[in-house]
């Protein structure tokens, strides 16, 4: 590394971007998380003044993402962001839960340096993989003056962690930020912003120092979706486990509402009973765009602008904070 260059650290966690198939060129039916991140970056160089440094943090299919991997990734991000010569991070990740990991990191990291998450819809062994271009775009974003926050770069779009969702199982531009739209686009290696980098603050933890306990101590929070024919028995079981002091009893339940906070009557009744039993209940809409407009007659607490999966992360962090396991 030259004396004055700054490092962009690429942390690999697996995903389709690191996937490979035994069937030559196939775009489906591959195994995610098999190609080392060093191999993904073979032949890549950083723009003048920057150097790439690569580290494998995990090697998984992101459908299997868990608290322990989040915790290790968080610790590696914190470590690298503290280094003066590091300008920013890139995290390679599977598309399936990238929006959750991104929102988690967004909620807990305090650095003003960019953390650019990227991914791919086709495996590295595809005849036409999209990962290399996404990686090039991620490098462009991470080395852009003023870039900040935890963001997702895929198919030439730059998305903010709070609004982004995976909305398509196959096409290359699989992400949408709903009504908010992307933060910007990457075009020929240049970022064109359409919103501010910091278009929202970290929503729940903010500027809180964050020494989390070991992942096996993080509270269990379940998501239950409201739907036609929904039944309350699952909630009854969770309440019973709580009342019997089951070691892994839930601390929280997120109810995925069908619209503007509306729940099947069986789940609404179950949610109220769960709350009475000391379980934290949060209602979030399963609609992929828009947010809940509260009324005066809400029976349960709302997360108005987060998807159920992100509301679960917000509740997780809130409960950890309430346990005073964070140093404020
Ligand atoms: C994964 O999420 O790890 C597999 C799917 C993908 O990356 O597109």
Tens-place pLDDT, residues 225-252:
999 999 999 999 999 999 999 999 999 9
3, pLDDT greater than 90: no
Mutate to test the pocket of ligand 1, among 65, 96, 98 (most ligand atoms within 8 A of CB): 96
216, pLDDT greater than 70: yes
What pLDDT, on a 0 to 100 scale, did the predictor assign at position 325? 44
Report pLDDT digits (tens) over 255-271: 999 999 999 999 999 99
Question: Residue 221: which of 290, 303, 150 has the closest Cα?
Answer: 303
Q: Cα of 22 to ligand 1 centre, how many Å?
A: 17
What pLDDT, on a 0 to 100 scale, did the predictor assign at position 1? 52
Q: Which atom of ligand 1 is nearest to the CA of 33?
A: 3
* Both structure tokens of 280: 């934290």
Q: Which atom of ligand 1 is nearest to the CA of 119?
A: 7
CA 220 to chain centre: 18
Q: Which atom of ligand 1 is nearest to the CA of 15?
A: 3
* Both structure tokens of 70: 């989040």
What pLDDT, on a 0 to 100 scale, did the predictor assign at position 80? 97
- Please, are residues 192 and 184 in contact by the beta-carbon 8 Å criterion? yes
> Taking residues 23-48, what's their average pLDDT?
95
What pLDDT, on a 0 to 100 scale, did the predictor assign at position 188? 98
Report pLDDT digits (tens) over 12-21: 999 999 999 9
Q: Which atom of ligand 1 is nearest to the CA of 63?
A: 2
More confident residue, 103 or 198: 103
More confident residue, 198 or 75: 75
204, pLDDT greater than 50: no
Q: Which atom of ligand 1 is nearest to the CA of 17?
A: 7
Report pLDDT digits (tens) over 266-305: 999 999 999 999 999 999 999 999 999 998 888 999 999 9
Q: Cα of 205 to ligand 1 centre, how many Å?
A: 28
Q: Ligand 1: which residues within 6 Å by Cβ?
A: 14-16, 32, 61-63, 94-96, 119, 121
Mean pLDDT estimate for the chain:
93
211, pLDDT greater than 90: no
Residue of the CA atom closest to atom 1 of ligand 1: 94
Report pLDDT digits (tens) over 121-177: 999 999 999 999 999 999 999 999 999 999 999 999 999 999 999 999 999 999 999
Mutate to test the pocket of ligand 1, among 13, 15, 99 (most ligand atoms within 8 A of CB): 15
Q: Which atom of ligand 1 is nearest to the CA of 16?
A: 7
326, pLDDT greater than 60: no
Mutate to test the pocket of ligand 1, among 57, 69, 119, 166 (most ligand atoms within 8 A of CB): 119
Q: Cα of 148 to ligand 1 centre, how many Å?
A: 25
Report pLDDT digits (tens) over 42-82: 999 999 999 999 999 999 999 999 999 999 999 999 999 99
What pLDDT, on a 0 to 100 scale, did the predictor assign at position 209? 53
Residues 172 and 193: their CA atoms lie apart, in Å, by 21
Domains of the chain: 6-193 (3.40.50.1170), 215-322 (3.40.50.40)
321, pLDDT greater than 90: no
207, pLDDT greater than 50: no
Q: Cα of 182 to ligand 1 centre, how many Å?
A: 21
Q: Cα of 225 to ligand 1 centre, how many Å?
A: 23
Residue 212 — pLDDT band, cuts 50, 70, 90? Answer: confident
- Please, are residues 74 and 89 in contact by the beta-carbon 8 Å criterion? no
Angle at 9 between CA 8 and CA 13, to 5 degrees: 140
Angle at 183 between CA 179 and CA 188, to 5 degrees: 130
């Amino acid at each position: 590394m030259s004396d004055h260059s700054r490092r962009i650290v690429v942390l690999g966690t697996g995903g389709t971007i690191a996937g490979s198939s035994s069937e030559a060129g196939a775009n489906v039916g591959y195994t995610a998380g098999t190609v080392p991140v060093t191999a993904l970056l073979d032949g890549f160089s950083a723009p003048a003044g920057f150097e790439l440094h690569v580290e494998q943090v995990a090697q998984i299919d992101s459908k299997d993402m868990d608290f322990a991997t989040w915790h290790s990734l968080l610790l590696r991000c914190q470590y690298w962001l503290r280094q003066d010569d590091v300008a920013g991070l890139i995290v390679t990740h599977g598309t399936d839960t990238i929006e959750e990991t991104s929102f988690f990191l967004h909620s807990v990291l305090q650095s003003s340096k960019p953390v650019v998450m990227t991914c791919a819809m086709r495996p590295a062994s595809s005849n036409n993989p999209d990962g290399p271009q996404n990686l090039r775009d991620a490098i462009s974003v991470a080395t852009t003056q003023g870039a900040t926050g935890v963001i997702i770069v895929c198919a030439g779009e730059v998305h903010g962690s709070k609004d982004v969702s995976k909305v398509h199982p196959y096409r290359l531009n699989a992400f949408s930020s709903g009504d908010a739209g992307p933060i910007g686009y990457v075009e020929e290696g240049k970022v064109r912003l359409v919103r501010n980098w910091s278009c929202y603050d970290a929503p729940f933890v903010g500027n809180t120092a964050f020494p989390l306990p070991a992942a096996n101590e993080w509270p269990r929070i379940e998501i239950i979706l409201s739907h036609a024919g929904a039944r309350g028995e699952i909630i009854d079981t969770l309440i019973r486990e709580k009342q019997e002091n089951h070691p892994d009893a839930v601390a929280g339940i997120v109810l995925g509402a069908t619209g503007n906070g509306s729940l099947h009557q069986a789940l609404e009744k179950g949610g109220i009973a769960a709350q009475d039993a000391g379980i934290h209940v949060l209602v979030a809409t399963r609609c992929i765009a828009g947010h809940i407009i509260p009324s005066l007659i809400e029976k349960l607490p709302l997360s108005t602008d987060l998807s159920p999966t992100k509301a679960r992360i917000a509740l997780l962090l809130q409960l950890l904070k309430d346990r005073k396991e964070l140093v404020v």
